[in-house]
Structure 1
């Protein structure tokens, strides 16, 4: 007779102990949910901010600015203080059935069958292999997460001269980490006409960190036997190639959600984000399973992910109290130049999304974007926004642009005129 692993039955299981998951746990406990369990595979809870040792965290959710490690410690302590149970070094390995997950930890194997489940597994940067950059396979090639983990958590040295691939917010975070480790960021390489980050960050990065940016360029080869020695970059418009000496390469941005658990469980995924398909209440296609944070919008800032956690708490409680998922709803689809939109389903009587914002990702820079909402042949809304749509960062659109949408007239397409 096969031995059945022990079973735990919390009210809510949150998979992922980053800003979104910890904030959801604290809010659920604040609203009266008795047993909230957070599991995280890392040794300490807190997510990516644990090893992002610079300031800029907490503005939107905590209304103050903190360093990444301080922010992570604060969120973990707050969740624990409310009475949420946090288990680290705990890995969810798969689904035993539609409502039960298999878990392994230093305490052994067991199963968790919650009344409701929240996926908060976040996103990761695509490494060099996923970007199909050819060349040698030397040491000294990292993602930002690997770099910061090495420098800030393990206090290990890196090289002396680095090339940063990408120009997003996280790319400047990598530049600061390199400087702190005694490594000079020699060049930042972006495929776009300007670095993707906010103009303020680009200006500060160029002046204070003294990092030149090669725009409309890509890395075509990594060179080095044993240790990285150089990279070859190509200008996308002219085809001209040149070699940059470096012993370190950091691939930044180009995010993908950690969606393996959702995918293996048969939860519907969005073709644009590659994360779970959700409505404005952050329900997934499986009843009782919700999704939050950067696995839904890869990738936004940590405080926006945290506010997803706060937003989902009341929706989870509605489910625990017997309110089941409605079947009707219309799809929200991203039109050019947008790559994706989150959330993707609009249902009558559901709340507006967190912060009353739709989140979109553009591949084209538009300084004065005129957002157009269409349903069939009808133009529902056209509105010019005061902030640009730019690659490499989330474009936020007020949900009021959907006020004229019919819940029975088919899919809604959101693009730019």
Structure 2
């Protein structure tokens, strides 16, 4: 006779204890949504902010600014005080059936069958191997997450001179962590005409951290036997190659959702984000399964991910109360230079997206973007926005640009000029 693992049946299971998951847990517990369980594979909940030891967290969701570790502690404390149960060192290993998940933890193996499930597993940076950068395989090559984990959680040395691959917000975060570890960030490399981060961050990085940026460039080879000793970089326009000495390389950005559970469940994926396809209520294609945070928009700031968690609470409560399944929706699509949009489905009776914003990712810089919305070759809206489109960071547009679309029409296409 086969022994069945023990089964627990909470009202809501949240997978992932980062800003999105913890905020969802706090909101649901505050609103008496039942037994709320958060599981996280790390030994401490809080997500990436736990080891991002610099300020800038909490602006949009908490209306204050704090360091990453303080922000993580605040979110954990709030969820716990509200009555949510947080289980750390707990890994969801797969699906036992359509509604039940297999879990392993220090207490052993068991199963969880919730009435509603919120996926908040976030996103991760692609490592060097996924970016197919050739050369030697020395020590001293990290992603930002690995670097910050070593520096801020384990107090480990990393090297003396580093090259940072990427020019996003997280790239400057890596530069700060390197400085704190006593390692000089000697060069930042971006394939774009200018570093992808906001101008204020780029200016501060150059003047305060004194990090030069090589634009329109890429790493073509990592050199070093045992320990990294240099990287070879190529200018994309001229083809000229140079060698930069360093004992540390940090690959930043180039995000991909942690979507293994989504794929294993057969939940529909968006081909642009590679995360689950969702509507503005953050429902996935499987009834009772919701998704929030940076697995949907890889990757936005922690406070925006947290606001997804706040937004999803009412949608989960509606599901628990037996609200009927939603009607068919209209698909939102994008044209170049946009790579993806989130969310991707608009239904007639659903709420506006979190903060009333649609999130998009671009592969080109446009200073004064003119956003155009069309459906079935019909012009729905055209609006010039005051903020630029830029690669390496999320472009936000008000969801009011969708006013006037037909909910019985074809896909809606959003482009920019």
CA contact (8 A) 2:30 2:83 kept: no
Q: How many Å separate the matches in 1 of 2:325 and 2:353?
A: 16
Correspondence 1:186-205 to 2 at 5 A: 186-205=186-205
Is the 2:26–2:82 contact (alpha carbons within 8 Å) kept by the matching residues of 1? yes
Cα RMSD between the aligned structures?
0.4
Aligned 1:127-142 pairs, distance under 5 A? 127-142=127-142
Q: How much has 1:3 moved relative to structure 2?
A: 0.3
For residues 234-293 of structure 1, give each alpha carbon's deviation from its aligned partner in whole angstroms, at most 9, with x where no partner exists: 000000000000000000000000000000010000000000000000000000000000
Structure 1 residue 324 displacement after superposition: 2.9
Written as runs of structure 1 = structure 2, the 5 A alignment for 1:203-282 is 203-282=203-282
2:289 aligned partner: 289
Take 1:336 and 1:237, find their aligned partners in 2: how far apart are those partners?
A: 21
Unaligned runs of 5+ in 1: none
Q: Secondary structure at the match of 1:149?
A: helix
Contact 1:8/1:112 (CA < 8 Å) preserved in 2?
Answer: yes
> 1:6 and 1:171 mapped to 2: Cα distance?
44
For residues 321 and 335 of structure 2, what CA distance do their matches in structure 1 show?
A: 37
Query: Does the aligned pair in 1 maintain the 2:103–2:112 contact within 8 Å?
Result: yes
Q: Give the deviation of 1:32 after TM superposition.
A: 1.1
2:56 counterpart SS class: strand
Tell me the residue number matched to 1:330: 330
Q: Distance in 1 between matches of 2:356 and 2:31?
A: 21
1:218-237 Cα offsets, whole Å, 9 max, x none, are 00000000000000000000
Count of residues in Structure 1 that have an aligned counterpart in Structure 2:
417
Match of 1:92 in 2: 92
Task: Provide Cα deviations, 1:122-177, integer angstroms capped at 9, x if missing partner.
Answer: 00000000000000000000000000000000000010000000000000000000
Name the CA distance, whole Å, in 2 between partners of 1:416 and 1:292. 26
Note if 1:42 corresponds to 2:42. yes
Residue of structure 2 equivalent to 1:121: 121
Alignment of 1:137-152 (within 5 A): 137-152=137-152
In 2, Cα distance between equivalents of 1:349 and 1:215:
46
TM-score, with structure 1 as normaliser: 1.00
Once the 2 structures are TM-superposed, how far is the Cα of residue 327 of structure 1 from its aligned partner? 3.4
Whether 1:28 and 2:22 are equivalent positions in the alignment is: no
Q: How far apart, CA to CA, are the structure 1 residues paired with 2:4 and 2:286?
A: 25
**2:344 aligned with 1:344, yes or no?**
yes
Cα deviation for residue 409 of structure 1 reads: 1.0
Q: Which residue of 2 aligns with 1:175?
A: 175
TM-score, normalisation: structure 2? 1.00
Q: Residues of 1 paired with 2:257 and 2:135: CA distance?
A: 27
Q: Hey, what's the Cα distance between the residues in 1 that align with 2:122 and 2:324?
A: 26
1:326 Cα deviation from its structure 2 partner: 1.5
Q: Which residue of structure 1 aligns with residue 73 of structure 2?
A: 73
Aligned-residue offset at 1:325: 2.5
CA–CA distance in structure 1, aligned partners of residues 404 and 21 of structure 2: 33
